[in-house]
Amino acid sequence: MRRVYQATSLAFLALGVFLMWQGQALGLSGMVGPGPGFFPFWVGVALAALSACWFGQASLRPVERMSPDFMPGGGGMLRLAAVLIALVAFAIALKPLGFNLSMLGFTLFLFFVFGREYPISKIVIAIGASFGVHYVFETLLKLPLPYSSVDLLRSLGL
């Protein structure tokens, strides 16, 4: 864990230095009192100082060993990747495909990644989670959800 903590503390140190640089660029003093860069600069100083202390602590003091479950096993890694892929795909597909198709694909993908039992129920629930939720949001809650930007899909009400 030593290397992991060192790398993490250096990442925060870099962020702190970046904030100090940006704070200076924005200006520490303004027309009346502190400028827009005052707060970022001092937050950067504090973050950099604390991160440096953390780096020192990780380098000099005994650090616990990495636990066996720190890295997920094969199955866990696949499920983790599946969740992230589903979320990223949902964000990318939302505008071009619209909410209905994006959410349908999202839920069906995750349902079957996490287990193949109850296939019919899962398909029904996925349809409810997409088209049903769209209806509830649009009609009852008056919260618009996006339609597809593709003309053909849009003409189908998707």
Partner 1 sequence: MYALQSLIMGFSVALQPQHLLFAFLGCVMGTLTGVLPGIGPIAGMAILLPITFQLDATSAIIMLAAIYYGSMYGGTITTILMNVPGEGASAITALDGYQMAKQGRAGAALAIAAIGSFIGGTIATITLVVAAPPLASIALRFGPPEFFGLMVLGVSLLMGLSGSSVLRGLVSGMFGLALTIPGTDLVEGIPRMSFGSMDLLDGVTFVPVIMGLFGIAEILLNAEAESREVFEAKMSSLMLTLKDLKDSFWPIVRGTVIGISLGVIPGIGTIAPTLGSYAVEKRMSKHPERFGTGAIEGVAGPEATNNAYANAAMIPLFTLGVPASPTLAVLVGAFMMNGLQPGPFLFRDNPEFVWAVIASLYIGNVMLLILNLPLVGLWVKILKVPYSILFPLILAFTAIGSYSIRNSVFDVWVLIAFGVIGYLFKKLDIPIAPVALTLILGPLMEKSLRQSMAMSGGDVTILLRSPVSTGLLAISVLILLSPIVRLLVPSRLRESIWK
Residues 83-102 that bind partner 1 (CB under 8 A): 83-84, 86-88, 90-91, 94-95
| Residue from the set 24, 59, 119, 144 that interacts with partner 1 by CB under 8 A | 144
- The Cα 38–Cα 34 span in angstroms is 6
| Residue from the set 19, 20, 97, 101 that interacts with partner 1 by CB under 8 A | 19
Answer for the pair 158, 101: CB distance below 8 angstroms, yes or no.
yes
Smallest gap from Cβ 76 to partner 1, in A, equals 4
In the block, tokens 């899962």 appear at 122
The reply on whether position 141 binds partner 1 by CB under 8 A is yes
- The Cα 8–Cα 4 span in angstroms is 6
Q: How far is CA 83 from CA 56, 64, 86, in A?
A: 36, 30, 5
Please choose, from the candidates 125, 117, 114, 128, the residue with its C-alpha nearest in 3D space to the C-alpha of residue 86. Answer: 114
| DSSP class of 72 | -
3-state helix, strand, coil in the chain (%, to 5): 75, 0, 25
**Which CB sits closer to partner 1, 73 or 155?**
73
Residues 27-66 that bind partner 1 (CB under 8 A): 29-36, 38-40, 43-44, 46-47, 50-51, 53-54, 57
Smallest gap from Cβ 13 to partner 1, in A, equals 10
- The Cα 55–Cα 60 span in angstroms is 9
Residue numbers of the site for partner 1 (CB under 8 A)? 4-5, 8-9, 12, 15-16, 19, 22, 26, 29-36, 38-40, 43-44, 46-47, 50-51, 53-54, 57, 69-70, 72-73, 75-77, 79-80, 82-84, 86-88, 90-91, 94-95, 103, 106-107, 110-111, 114-115, 117-118, 121-122, 125, 129, 133, 137, 141-146
